[in-house]
Structure 1
Amino acid sequence: MEYEGQICRSPMERSSFMLPVMVGCSYNRCQFCMLFKHLTYRRLPMDQIFADIRRVADLGGDPKWVFLGDGNAFSLPAEDLLAILQEIRRAFPSCQGVNMDATVTSIAQKTDEQLELLAKAGVSHLYLGIESGLDDVLRLMDKDHTKAQAMEQIRRIQQAGMVFDAHIMTGVAGKGRGRENALALGEFFRRTRPSRVVNFSMFIHRRAPLYQLIQQGKFVPADEGENLEEERVLLHQLWNMEVEYDGFHDILPLRVRGKLPEDREKMLKKLEKALGEHGDAPWPVALVD
């Protein structure tokens, strides 16, 4: 397999066979993201994708799960996705499902019939970069959706038979707004019922567009103590939901993960300990240019 760029996928997909179907991200406008800025987006030829599938099958591979990469694989035309899914089913008889990243817009571009066909063909989990529960924050971060639009497209994929998983970022709302964002996200998740929530606490790179907003005074980052408190408030909001949670803090040796509601108290105790140790941690800006 030839792979360009950094491998980016949810930790829940660590045992999946990662099958690239594109290079980079078809959206690639999020203010905080540097994963794909150095890449020129392009779709990979179908012959190359099919060859990767056959190569794994010829070596005896029969993965239970397949993850399509890279950023926003669901933006491929429905007919291309259906052809890839058919080849996966033919090559891997044990495959239980195919997961990938999506955006609200890439879902909206597909009809209800196409969503149902994709679900029946094997699309299982779609990871959506929800990031925040506040519309003004979504606008500032140049996301491709509002809160209401996200709810509507999540409703459509769930109705079609797919599972909604969420990516969020504590700290994305900026200094002094962590609790507000946590409460908004809690309400959003109670209404949309994700199966998984992955939290990548905000880490700002000097070359990211968001850094320019900081220099212009349009965004003031939260410190890591506030990010930890935001995560604590969010977990309280999700206390009675059945959801798998995984939270990362890049500048701290901390990872908070488990299944709610059964692991809630253990996760909260870990956060409270971290708050006591790192509550005054500085706001995170990468020193790499």
Structure 2
Amino acid sequence: MEYEGQICRPPMEKSSFMLPVAVGCSYNRCTFCTLFKHLSYRQLPLEQVEAEIKRVHQAGGNPKQIFLGDGNAFGLETSHLLSILSLIHRYFPGCEMVNMDATVTNIHNKSDEELKLLYREGVRRLYLGIESGLDDVLASTKKDHTLEQAYREIERMQNAGLIFNAHIMTGIAGKDRGIENAEKTAEFFNRTHPERITNFSLFLHKRAPLYKDFEAGRFTPASEVDNLIEDRHLIELLDVPGLIYDGFHDFLELRIRGTLPDDKEKMLTRIDQKLKEEEGQPEKFAIVS
């Protein structure tokens, strides 16, 4: 596979066939993200997409699950997505679902009829970077949506049969706002009922615009322990039966995952054990300079 840029896909898509259909992210303005800043967004020609599909087909591949890359493939024109889906079903008759990243605006830009048509043609899961339950944080990090918009568009996609999966970032609200952010984010998810939540706890990279806010004193990061306390509070408040939760705290070398509510106490206990281990230790901050 020829792939330009850094491969980025949700952890639950690790066994999917990743099919590049674009390079970069068509939005690419989130202040915390460095994944696509060095790339100029462009849609890949259908001929190039078909050539990759043919390559896998000729090698004997017939994947059941396909993930379309790059940053927000759902932003492609519906007609182009339908052409890609037609090729997938022609060469891979065993394909049961096609999943991809999306933004709230991507959904807004498609009609109810388009959403239903894409579902009928095999699109199933959309991964949305929700990041925070606080509107002012969404605005300051230049997300492409407000909470009200997210509520509306998620309801529309779910009415069409599409499955909502969410990405969040503990720590994104900054120092002393973790509990507030956890409460508002839990409130959002308890209403929207995602299938999965993946928490990539915030780390500040020097190439991210948010790092410049940090240097200028406009953003004060929370410690990694504070981010873990925020995660604990969020998990405690989540009330979505069957929700799969996966939390990454790389600077603490900790991953918290399970299905709620069955695994909630086990997850909370693991967090408490890690918090106890960190007592008396120097504060850690997820900053890459």
TM (norm. structure 2) is 0.97
Task: Return 61-70 or 247-256, whichever deviates more.
Answer: 247-256
Residue 234 of structure 2 corresponds to residue 224 of structure 1: no
Corresponding residue for residue 286 of structure 1: 288
Find the aligned partners of 2:270 and 2:134 in 1 and give their Cα distance: 27
Q: Secondary structure at the match of 1:199?
A: strand
Q: Cα offset for 1:241?
A: 2.7
Corresponding residue for residue 165 of structure 1: 165
Corresponding residue for residue 274 of structure 2: 274
Q: Structure 1: where are the runs of 5+ without partners?
A: none
Q: What amino acid is aligned across from residue 281 of structure 1 in structure 2?
A: E
Find the aligned partners of 1:83 and 1:276 in 2 and give their Cα distance: 54
Corresponding residue for residue 193 of structure 1: 193
Q: Structure 2: where are the runs of 5+ without partners?
A: none
Q: What amino acid is aligned across from residue 170 of structure 2 in structure 1?
A: T
Q: Secondary structure at the match of 1:71?
A: coil
Q: What amino acid is aligned across from residue 111 of structure 2 in structure 1?
A: T
Corresponding residue for residue 114 of structure 1: 114
Corresponding residue for residue 91 of structure 1: 91
Q: Cα offset for 1:90?
A: 1.4
Find the aligned partners of 1:187 and 1:39 in 2 and give their Cα distance: 35
The answer (yes or no) to whether the contact 1:190–1:241 under 8 Å persists in 2 is: no
Q: Cα offset for 1:194?
A: 0.1
Task: Figure out how many residues of one structure are paired with residues of the other and give that number.
Answer: 287
The answer (yes or no) to whether the contact 2:100–2:127 under 8 Å persists in 1 is: yes
Corresponding residue for residue 174 of structure 2: 174
Find the aligned partners of 1:284 and 1:153 in 2 and give their Cα distance: 32
Find the aligned partners of 1:85 and 1:20 in 2 and give their Cα distance: 13
> Alpha carbons of 1:45 and 1:240: their partners in 2 closer, same or farther (altered >3 Å)?
closer
Find the aligned partners of 2:60 and 2:283 in 1 and give their Cα distance: 49
Deviations 1:92-150 (A, max 9, x none): 11111000000001111111110010011011000000000000000010000000100
Runs of 4+ displaced beyond 3 Å: none
Find the aligned partners of 2:31 and 2:122 in 1 and give their Cα distance: 32
Q: Cα offset for 1:239?
A: 4.5
Q: Secondary structure at the match of 2:101?
A: strand
TM (norm. structure 1) is 0.97
The answer (yes or no) to whether the contact 2:223–2:285 under 8 Å persists in 1 is: yes
The answer (yes or no) to whether the contact 1:239–1:264 under 8 Å persists in 2 is: no
Q: Secondary structure at the match of 1:164?
A: strand
Q: What amino acid is aligned across from residue 179 of structure 1 in structure 2?
A: I
Find the aligned partners of 1:107 and 1:20 in 2 and give their Cα distance: 20
The answer (yes or no) to whether the contact 2:190–2:240 under 8 Å persists in 1 is: no
Find the aligned partners of 1:217 and 1:136 in 2 and give their Cα distance: 17
The answer (yes or no) to whether the contact 1:101–1:126 under 8 Å persists in 2 is: yes
Deviations 1:213-235 (A, max 9, x none): 11222111010011000000011
Corresponding residue for residue 64 of structure 1: 64
RMSD of aligned alpha carbons: 1.0
